[in-house]
Amino acid sequence: MGRKVLITGASRGIGKSIATAFAKLGDDLILTCLNNIESLEKFAGNLEQKFDIKVRAVKCDVSDYEAVKALFTDIKDIDILINNAGVAWIGLLTDMEKEDWDKVMGTNLDALFYTARFAVPLMVKKHSGRIINISSVWGNVGASCEVAYSASKGGVNSFTKALAKELAPSGIVVNAVACGVIDTDMNRKHLSSDDLEELKGEIPMDRLGSTEEVADLVVKLAQIPEYMTGQIITIDGGWI
């Protein structure tokens, strides 16, 4: 399609699958990561060769305003912004340090302001654009021992709804995807095999979601009629 798509946190998991899905459609990509730049550069090169598109890999801490500002110095046009980068922290709130809280909020919520701050003016010029934020079911209902994560994703949901209203007159669509338990490295890092099996038993579909399923939904959201904006779409196998 030749659109210009920025995807944060694209070196693995959901972000990587989203990048592949847009590449298949012929869109040019800017992909960011925090720690896995070598892997991301290799992935970007493979996408370029396979789909004959332009892909740029950038190391960028999206929780750092100045880093995001620097990222956008080389971005002159953008059609779609996917805010996917995220981190989790599991444990009692009373065991959490301020640094842990700041990291979760910085990556999961502050980054949305930073990227939108610079992407929106480029979209307003064209009177078009799509912003899709990756959220979580815990942003809808909250989770014990994931207070900071739940709060950050609740903020993502409110940010999405408010920004959608603000940008609707400019022809810019803003929606979010609230994910259930998706089979990602992040979930496997924080949850044991027993935990994951127990969760599967609670999910009506009796399985974890795949990153490809999330990516498929995101691609569809990038093409829906612009009248559908400010929505939090849940993908959780009927769980919550």
Active site amino acids: 149
Please give the structure tokens belonging to residue 180. 């259930």
With contact defined as beta carbons under 8 Å apart, do 222 and 214 qualify?
no
With contact defined as beta carbons under 8 Å apart, do 106 and 48 qualify?
no
The 10 Å Cβ neighbour count of residue 223 is 11
With contact defined as beta carbons under 8 Å apart, do 195 and 154 qualify?
no
Please give the structure tokens belonging to residue 15. 């972000």
The secondary structure of 112-149, three-state, reads HHHHHHHHHHHHHHHCCEEEEEEEECHHHHCCCCCHHH
CA distances from 104 to 112, 145, 203 (A): 13, 14, 26
